[in-house]
Structure 1
Amino acid sequence: MAIRDDAGFADLRSYAAIGDGRTVALVALDGSIDWYPTPDLDSTPAFARLLDAREGFLALAPSTSYAVERRYVDGTNVLETTYTTDNGAVRVTDSLNTGVAGRLPWGELARRIDGLSGSVDMAWSIMPGSCFGTASAWLDGEPDHPILRINGIGLGIRGIDHGQHPPTGQTVEGSFTTSEGSRHLVAVVSTHDEPLPLPDAQTIDDGVDRTIRNWQVWSDTVAYTGAYRHAVLRSALALKLLLHSPSGSIAAAATTSLPESAAGGKNWDYRYAWVRDTAYTLHALTRVGLREEVHAAVSWMLKNLRSQGSDLEVFTHLNGDTPEGTRHPDLTGWRNIGPVVDGNGAAGQLQLGVFGDLFDIVWEYVQSGHVLDPTTMRQLAGIADLTCDIWHNRDAGIWELPEERHYVSSKLGCWNALKCAVLLAEHGQLQGPVERWATERDRISAWVNENGWSEERQSYVWYPGSTDLDASVLLHATSGFDTGPRMSATIDAIRDELGSGPLIYRYSGMQQEEASFVACAYWAVSALAAVGRRDEAVELMEQLLPLANDVGMMSEMIEPADNSFMGNVPQGLSHLALINAALAIAGPADPMTS
C-alpha cells in the first residue's frame, strides 16, 4: 500500500496518534509527524502537512526502502514502529512525554531510535510550516543546539547520536547509521510566549520510559474486563488523548478540515468541546470505572454552562471561551480537498439534544455514588424548567443543520433530560417542580409517538411529515425511551435504507454526499442489544471492529466502497460509541466483569 500520493499526502488510515494530555501529534506509517499543534490541541499548528504539503513536518525514517510494522506499547499511547531494510532493522519509539507528577509544563516530543539488527541508515528533518499562513519560521540558538521560532512558539532540538547537520534556513536535519544495540534520540522541546527549557537529551530519553509507566498505571484503572477488552481499552486511550488536562474539557476530535466527502465542502474544525460529545464520552468513561477525568470534565462542563446563563452554547474552546467565528486559511486541504477551516460556524445554534446530554451524564455521575452541590442543583433545576418551555421549538438538531425543524431525536433529547431530572429529584439530588417535569416528559413522549412514528415506514422518522430516517434516533433505545417493537423495527429500517454492509450513513440522502458515519454503526450495535437482539449485536460488532486501522484508531467516517477513512481523526464519537456498544453487549448486570 502506498503511504503517500503524488502530492505528498498520506492516507488517513496510516496515522497513529500520540499525546500528553494537552495536545496530539499524528504519526504516519513512513515516520513523518504531519500534525502537531503546540502548546494546546486547538493552537494554530506549526506542523500541519496533513492539510498542505508546505505546512511543516517532523520526518524520521530509513534512507532506503523498507517494510514497516507498528503497535502501541501495551496499555499506552506511546507508539513503536519497526522498519526492516535489506541491511537491518530499527525500532522508533514516539512519545509525547509526561512528567513525574502529570503533564509537563512544556511540550516534549521524543523520538527514540533503537538498532535491532544489522545497520540501517536513518534520516530526519524538522521543518515548520507557516502556522496557517500567519508567520514564517526562523533559526535561533547555537549551531549545536538550534532553536526554531515561529508565531511565539519556541522549538528546541535535542538529540543523542543523531548526526545533526549544520542547520540552515528554516530546517534542521540530520542522518546517522544504527547498529545492533545502538540508541539514538531526536527530540523537540516547545513552549509558547515563555522561556524555553532545554533538558539534557538523556533526561528526555528517560522520560520515554516514565511516560510508558504513566500510561500503563492509568490503563490499570480501566475496570472493564468483559468482551472486546482490547478494543475498549484502546478506545479509552484514544479518548484520553482528547481530554485537555489544564481545563478538564474534552475535544471532539484532534484535527480540523479533514473532508467528509471527496467532493469537498464538508470540512469542519472539531478541536472544540461540545456538550454532546463530552456527555457521551463521560458516559463511556464512567462505565469503565474512570473517576478523575470524569469529575474534572463534569465540573468543567457545569461551570462552563453556568457562566453562559440561559443561552447554552453547544460547544466552546477547550479553555471555555466562546468561539468567535471562522476563517479559511489559504491552504490546499488534505489531498487538495478544501476548504481548510479554522473555527466552527455552528456556534449559537439551538440544539435541543444538548439538554438530554447534560442531564444524562449528571444522572450517570450520581448513579456512580457521587453527590451534587447546592449551586449545581439550582442550575440544573433552572435548565429542567427551560427544557419544559423550549422543547416545543424547532432546532438545528444533532447534525447541526442550517434548516431548523422539529427533529424527533431532538425531542427525545428533551424527554431524556426531564426523565433524568425526575430521577435526580427522586434520589434527593434535585429540587424543583418535579410534577411539571414529569408532565412535560410525558407530553414529549406522546408527541413523539403521535408525530415521530410512521406506519408507512414502520419506523421513527427524521421529523414529522417526512418519511426520511435519522440514525441518531437509535440513541434512544439505550436512553430507555423505547426498547420494544417500534424501536426494533426502526433499527431494521435504518440498516436497510442507511446501511452499507455493517456501516450506516447519518440520515436519508447522505449516501450521495458523504461517507458513512462510524458512530452510527456502533449505535446500531447498542440498540440491537437494548431491544433484546444480542446475537445480532455481536455479529455486527465483530464486523465493525476490523474497520479500525492497524493500531485501533478510528476516524469520523469510513467510505464503504473501500473502507478508507474520511473526516477528522481520531474522532471521539467513534471511539466512545465502540465502548458503549461493548458495554451494551456485556449487559446491565455487571459490565465491568461480564
Structure 2
Amino acid sequence: MPKADSAGPLARKDGYADLRGYAGIGDGRTVALIARDGSVDWLPIPALDSVPVFAALLDAENGGRITLAPVEAYTTTRAYIPGTNVLQTTFTTASGVVRLTDALVTGVAGRLPWTELARRIDGIRGSVEMRWAVEPGRALRTAMPWVDNTVHGPVIRVGGVMLSVTGFEHGANEPGTHHLDGAFTTSAGSRHLFAVSGTSREPIHPPNPRNVDRGIDRTVDNWRAWSREFSYEGPWADAVQRSALALKLLIHSPTGAIAAAATTSLPETITGGKNWDYRFAWVRDVAYTLQAMIRFGLREESQAAVSWMLTTIRKHGPELEVFYTLDGEIPDEIVRTEAPGWRGLGPVVCGNDAKHQLQLGPYGDLFDVMRSYVDAGNILDAETGRSLASVADQACDDWQKPDAGIWELEQNRHYTTSKLGCWQALSSAVHLAKLGEIPGDAARWETERDRIADWVNENCWSEERGAFTMYPGSDELDASILLHAPSGFNRGERMSRTIDAITAELGDGPLVYRYTGMREEEATFVACAFWRAGALACVGRIDEARALMDELIPLANNVGMYAEMIDADSLDFAGNLPQGLSHLSLIYTAILISELSD
C-alpha cells in the first residue's frame, strides 16, 4: 500500500493547503477532502455535485471547513486503513500522541439517506489538548449560515442544508452565531467522537453518537468486503487497488453514474484561467471506468453504470453528449460564482462549457465498453441493440465532420483521434453485429471503418515528423494518439515512431504534456503519461513500459491519490482531484502490460 503521509505543522499559503496534501473519503454520494492538518476543506452535501457548504478549498476566508487538531505544535503521519477509504491521521505532540479516524459512514444496506462525517479520536500516549470547530461557509457566496437553537439542540442552517453536530467526550462549547466548536483533552486509551450529519431540504434526526462510533467500524468492514471482490493480482497490485478505491469514491450510487473528479475549478495553470467543473459524468470516463470494473469482476457497479449510460443515451440520443449530470440530464448553463478560487486563482464555476461541443471520441468510448461488456458474458436487450445500431449509423455520418476533439478545444478541426474514435466505434459495432447482439447494416459499418483507417493513414501521418500528427497538414503532436495503440488501430512501426516523437517533444521525464504548446501553458497531464506506457507495451517495448510505470507510480501523493496534472519540476498537483482519468489510466495500463507480458 502507499506509504504513510508524514509532515510537520501544515504550512498554508494565504490560508490554502497544498493540493498534494489532500486525501479523499466518500460514501457513494459525496466526497470529503481532508488536509494533512485534519481540516475538512471540501464537502458538498448531500451529493458531490451540490453547491458545497464546506469549500475552504476554493474560498479560505468564507468557504467553510471542519477543523480538528492539537492545540500545541504537532507532526502528522497518515494512511488509509488497508482496503478502505477510511483515513487515519496520527498527531504527535510534545505531550502525547492521538489517532484520528475519519469516515463518511455507510449503513447496513449501503449509503445512508443522509450525509454523516464521523471523526473518532483515540488517545494513544500521554495527554493532548484537542480543539475542533464546525464552520460552514457561504455556499460559494450564495447563502449565509446561522445556528438555530432548537428544542433538540443546535443545528446549523445554510440555504437548504441543515447540519447536526453530535458526539461524546468531545467538549462541546456554547454555540456561536455561525458555527459550533469544542475542546477536550485525551489520555492514553481514551476515546472521543464528534459527527457532522447533514441533509438538504429534508428533516434531520441527530444520530446517537455511540451508533456513529459503531458505524465507523461497519464502514471499514463494508470497504474491505468490496475490496475483496478484486480479481487483479498482477504487477503494481497495491497501486491498482488504491486507484480502484479512488474511483469508487466517484461512483454516484443513486444512479450508477461516474463523476470525472470530485471538485470544481482547481486551476490547471499557475496563473489560473483553465478552471473547469468536473463533477459530471463524461461518456469517456464512464467507459474507461467500466473497462476496469469489468476486468475486476465488479458486477454490481458494472451493471449499474452500463444501465445508467444506456438509459441516459437513449433518453437524449442518438447523438452523444460529451457529458451528463450525475442524474442523467443535460447540464444547465455554466454559473460563475463570487468565490475567489484556490489561492485566488479563480474563477469558481458550476457547470462546464464543453457541453455545447461536438466530440466524436465518445462514439469509440461507448462501443468499446459495450464490446467488453458483451465479451465478458453479458447479453444486450433488444432496445439497447437497436439504440447502438442507431448510434453506429450516426458515427458513419459524423466522422467526416470537424469537432472539438478529446481536449475540448475552441477551434473545430479534423482531429486525428476524433476520426479514430469513430473507427473504434465501427470496429466494435461490426464485432457486436457478428455476435448477433445488435441489428443494422454491418456491411456499411465495415466499409466506413476501413475508409476512416485509410483516411487517417493517408492524411494524418507525417513522414517528416515521423509521427501521426494532431490533424491533417499540421506538424503538431497530440498525446491522445497513444490511446490507439491499445485500440488496435496501429501497433507497428508508425506507432512506435509516434511514441518516440511524443516523448521527445511532449515528454518531461516520465510525465507528458497533452499536445504541442502546452508546456508553456499548463502542467503535465497524468493520464497521458500512463497512455505512453501502455502504447510502449502494445508495440512490443515491454521493458520500457515497465520501467516507465515504476517511475510513475510513486508520483501519487503519499496516500496514493492523483490529481489531473502534475508540475514536472516541483511535482505539485494541479487541476481537479481525485481525478478519475488519472486513476483509470494507471489501472488500464497495469492490466494491459500484465496481459501483454504473458
Q: 5+ unaligned residues in a row in structure 1: which ranges?
A: none
Per-residue deviation at 1:143?
Answer: 8.5
Counterpart secondary structure, 2:144: coil
Aligned to 2:4: none
Aligned to 2:14: 7
Determine the C-alpha separation between the residues in 1 that align with 2:55 and 2:215.
25
Aligned to 2:279: 271
Q: Is the 8 A contact 1:18 1:24 kept in 2?
A: yes
Per-residue deviation at 1:292?
Answer: 0.8
Per-residue deviation at 1:310?
Answer: 2.8
Aligned to 1:426: 434
The one of 299, 308, 313 equivalent to 1:305 is: 313
Paired letter, 1:48: A
Q: Is the 8 A contact 1:50 1:334 kept in 2?
A: yes
Matched, 1:496 2:504: yes
Matched, 1:563 2:571: yes
Counterpart secondary structure, 2:183: strand
Q: Is the 8 A contact 1:3 1:14 kept in 2?
A: no
Aligned to 2:56: 49
Matched, 1:257 2:265: yes
Determine the C-alpha separation between the residues in 1 that align with 2:256 and 2:206.
28
Paired letter, 1:382: S
Aligned to 2:347: 339
User: Per-residue displacement from partner, 1:47-88 (whole Å, max 9, x unpaired)?
Assistant: 000001121000001111111000000100000000111111
Per-residue deviation at 1:377?
Answer: 0.3
The one of 104, 119, 143 equivalent to 2:112 is: 104
Determine the C-alpha separation between the residues in 1 that align with 2:410 and 2:294.
33
Per-residue deviation at 1:588?
Answer: 4.9
Determine the C-alpha separation between the residues in 1 that align with 2:166 and 2:193.
8
User: Per-residue displacement from partner, 1:209-266 (whole Å, max 9, x unpaired)?
Assistant: 0000000000000110111110000000000000000011000000000000011110
Determine the C-alpha separation between the residues in 1 that align with 2:382 and 2:356.
28
Paired letter, 1:501: G
Determine the C-alpha separation between the residues in 1 that align with 2:562 and 2:13.
24
Counterpart secondary structure, 1:496: helix
Q: Is the 8 A contact 2:537 2:596 kept in 1?
A: no
Aligned to 1:178: 186
Counterpart secondary structure, 1:410: helix
Per-residue deviation at 1:144?
Answer: 8.0
Matched, 1:239 2:250: no
Paired letter, 1:525: A
The one of 13, 20, 42 equivalent to 2:27 is: 20
Determine the C-alpha separation between the residues in 1 that align with 2:401 and 2:281.
24
Summarize the alignment of residues 571-586 of structure 1 with structure 2, pairs less than 5 Å apart. Answer: 571-586=579-594
Summarize the alignment of residues 366-381 of structure 1 with structure 2, pairs less than 5 Å apart. Answer: 366-381=374-389
Summarize the alignment of residues 340-355 of structure 1 with structure 2, pairs less than 5 Å apart. Answer: 340-355=348-363
Per-residue deviation at 1:5?
Answer: 2.8
Aligned to 1:281: 289
Determine the C-alpha separation between the residues in 2 that align with 1:3 and 1:113.
19
Paired letter, 1:42: D
Which stretch of the first structure deviates more once superposed, 252-261 or 421-430? 421-430
Aligned to 2:3: none
Matched, 1:457 2:465: yes
Counterpart secondary structure, 1:581: helix
Determine the C-alpha separation between the residues in 1 that align with 2:514 and 2:551.
19
Divergent runs of 4+, >4 A: none
Counterpart secondary structure, 1:338: coil
Counterpart secondary structure, 2:156: strand
Aligned to 1:435: 443
Aligned to 1:29: 36
C-alpha root-mean-square deviation of aligned residues, in Å?
Answer: 1.1
TM-score by length of 2: 0.97
Determine the C-alpha separation between the residues in 2 that align with 1:246 and 1:141.
32
Q: Is the 8 A contact 2:320 2:363 kept in 1?
A: no
Counterpart secondary structure, 1:265: coil
Counterpart secondary structure, 2:446: helix
Determine the C-alpha separation between the residues in 1 that align with 2:317 and 2:414.
24
Paired letter, 2:55: A
Aligned to 1:117: 125
The one of 521, 525, 550 equivalent to 1:517 is: 525
Aligned to 1:163: 171
Aligned to 2:456: 448
Determine the C-alpha separation between the residues in 1 that align with 2:153 and 2:290.
43
Paired letter, 2:317: G
Determine the C-alpha separation between the residues in 2 that align with 1:146 and 1:73.
33
Determine the C-alpha separation between the residues in 1 that align with 2:152 and 2:97.
28
The one of 514, 534, 541 equivalent to 2:542 is: 534
Paired letter, 1:560: A
Matched, 1:389 2:389: no
Paired letter, 1:376: T
Aligned length: 590
